[in-house]
């Protein structure tokens, strides 16, 4: 079975540009979360979407937005990129709401964004 | 979510048991202890979780103290592939949301040949 898939795997942008990152959850998972991991630190929570509704938001500026589609895939958008947005962006899905939720998050391999 | 404290780094000889400690003195009664690990440049991988009883699966064992203020992750026979950053996280498990994990800086475990 396919795990959580993310695209693109690597990308380079310049300051002020906008970026869209994509995530496909594991089949049957309805919840998708996004995390930012800056080099040398643990992942930081950005958003969670469940059944296409935002269920949680971390301490990130409004330049960060996300959405979830009817097929439960998700996009993370970041506008007006700053140098400090350079990071590994991780997507995770889970079985929350399915009745067999163990609380485990399944992470993708991430999208590495470099802002120049 | 409660805060956790872990040593920044540890070494373990290949084939020996690796014991990774975690302090979570402010844990609430409904918070679980979860362990994840992150091998270099990959996404975090779930290892194990527990509430108050000791747990074991094919990857590891989790020992939680009776007062639940600390726990230990045990990798019984460490291999070189176990070299990773290990994160101890405490959180409430819900049925409809709150999938936020609060990661600290974790313990960088290095397995020595």
**What pLDDT shows up at residue A102?**
75
Nearest CA to B79 out of B6, B7, B12, B19 is that of B12
Q: Which of A10-19, A89-98, B1-10 is predicted most confidently?
A: A10-19
**What pLDDT shows up at residue B41?**
79
Beta strands in A1-116 (DSSP E): 5-7, 10-13, 19-24, 31-37, 44-50, 53-57, 64-68, 74-78, 87-94, 106-107, 111-115
Q: How confident is the model at residue B80 (pLDDT cuts 50, 70, 90)?
A: very high
Report the alpha-carbon distance of residue A91 to residue A7 in Å, rounded.
Answer: 10
Nearest CA to A6 out of A115, A111, A112 is that of A111
Q: Which of residues 40-69 of B touch A (CB under 8 A)?
A: 41-46, 49
**What pLDDT shows up at residue B36?**
97
Answer for the pair A83, A61: CB distance below 8 angstroms, yes or no: no
**What pLDDT shows up at residue A75?**
98
**What pLDDT shows up at residue B93?**
74
**What pLDDT shows up at residue A97?**
72
Q: Does B5 touch chain A (CB under 8 A)?
A: no
When comparing pLDDT for A40 and B83, which is higher?
A: B83
**What pLDDT shows up at residue B2?**
63
Res A50 pLDDT > 80:
yes
Which of the residues B97, B98, B107 would you substitute to probe the A interface, choosing the one with the greatest number of A C-beta atoms within 10 Å? B97
Which of the residues A42, A46, A72, A114 would you substitute to probe the B interface, choosing the one with the greatest number of B C-beta atoms within 10 Å? A42
Read off the pLDDT of residues A3-23 as tens digits, 9 standing for 90 and up. 999 999 999 999 999 999 999
Answer for the pair B27, B33: CB distance below 8 angstroms, yes or no: yes
Residue range A82-90: average pLDDT?
A: 98
**Do the chains contact at A103 and B91, CB–CB below 8 Å?**
yes
Read off the pLDDT of residues B18-76 as tens digits, 9 standing for 90 and up. 999 999 999 998 899 999 999 987 999 999 999 998 999 999 999 999 999 999 999 99
């Amino acid at each position: 079975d396919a795990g959580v898939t993310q695209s693109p795997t690597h990308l380079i942008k310049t300051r002020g540009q906008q970026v869209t990152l994509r995530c496909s959850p594991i089949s049957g998972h309805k919840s998708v979360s996004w995390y930012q991991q800056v080099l040398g630190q643990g992942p930081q929570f950005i958003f969670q979407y469940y059944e296409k509704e935002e269920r949680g938001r971390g301490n990130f500026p409004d330049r960060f937005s996300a959405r979830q589609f009817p097929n439960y895939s998700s996009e993370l958008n970041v506008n007006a990129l700053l140098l400090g947005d350079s990071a590994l962006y991780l997507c995770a899905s889970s079985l929350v709401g399915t009745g067999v939720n163990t609380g485990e998050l399944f992470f993708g391999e991430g999208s590495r964004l470099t802002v120049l | 979510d409660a805060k956790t404290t872990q040593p920044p780094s540890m070494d373990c000889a290949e084939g020996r048991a690796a014991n990774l400690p975690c302090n979570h003195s402010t844990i609430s009664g409904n918070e679980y202890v979860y362990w994840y690990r992150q091998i270099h440049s990959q996404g975090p991988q779930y290892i194990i979780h527990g509430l108050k009883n000791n747990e074991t699966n094919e990857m590891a064992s989790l020992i939680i103290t009776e007062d639940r203020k600390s726990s230990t992750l045990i990798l019984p026979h460490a291999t070189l592939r176990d070299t990773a950053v290990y994160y101890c996280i405490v959180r409430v498990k819900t049925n409809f949301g709150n999938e936020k994990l609060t990661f600290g800086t974790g313990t960088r475990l290095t397995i020595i040949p």
